[in-house]
Amino acid sequence: MKRIITYGTFDLLHYGHINLLKRAKELGDYLIVVLSTDEFNLNEKNKKCYFSYEKRKALLESIRYVDLVIPETCWEQKRTDIHEYHIDTFVIGDDWKGKFDYLAEEGCEVVYLSRTPEISTTQIKQDIMSGQKKQ
């Protein structure tokens, strides 16, 4: 059983997130999503989420590619998560390319997947504010 882990906020869940989760799951058999808590988002990522952690968690748990959702409360937990959950591969979008290479020291493969370029939570919010419609 190949175990995959990925991290993120996943607010206003969209097809870019789904593309990432689908490809992450294709790398193994079991996918853990470590979901940023509201406090972590606010204090560490300067993100004010539209949906609360519980709602974002429920949405992720309904996705067929996702096997487990756990909280992300700090940047440093990745090293311990990898051991605690017996992770084979860490996966994240290539907007983070190079930032988590150090996890290879924990015996974990590190994979950066291409982002879906034309969509983002910020873009969705901006489009709604300006009355734009996504084509």
The CA-to-CA distance between both ends of the chain, in Å, stands at 39
Interaction between residue 120 and ligand C2G (CB under 6 A): yes
Candidates 58, 67, 53, 72; CA nearest to 8 is 72
- Given 2, 22, 25, 45, which residue is catalytic? 45
Determine whether 45 is an active site residue: yes
Determine whether 47 is an active site residue: yes
What is the C-alpha to C-alpha distance for residues 134 and 75, in angstroms, rounded to an integer?
33
> For the chain, give me the number of helices (H) and strands (E)?
5, 5
Question: In the bound complex, what is the minimum distance in angstroms from residue 2's beta carbon to ligand C2G?
Answer: 19
Q: Which is nearer to ligand C2G, 3 or 21 (CB)?
A: 21
Interaction between residue 39 and ligand C2G (CB under 6 A): no
Q: Which stretch binds ligand C2G (CB under 6 A): 6-14, 60-68, 102-110, 125-133?
A: 6-14
Interaction between residue 81 and ligand C2G (CB under 6 A): no
What is the C-alpha to C-alpha distance for residues 113 and 130, in angstroms, rounded to an integer?
30
* HEC letters along 89-114: EEEEEHHHCCCCHHHHHHCCEEEEEC
Q: Which residues bind ligand C2G (CB under 6 A)?
A: 7-10, 16-17, 19-20, 36, 45, 72, 92-93, 95, 115-116, 119-120
Active site residues: 45, 47
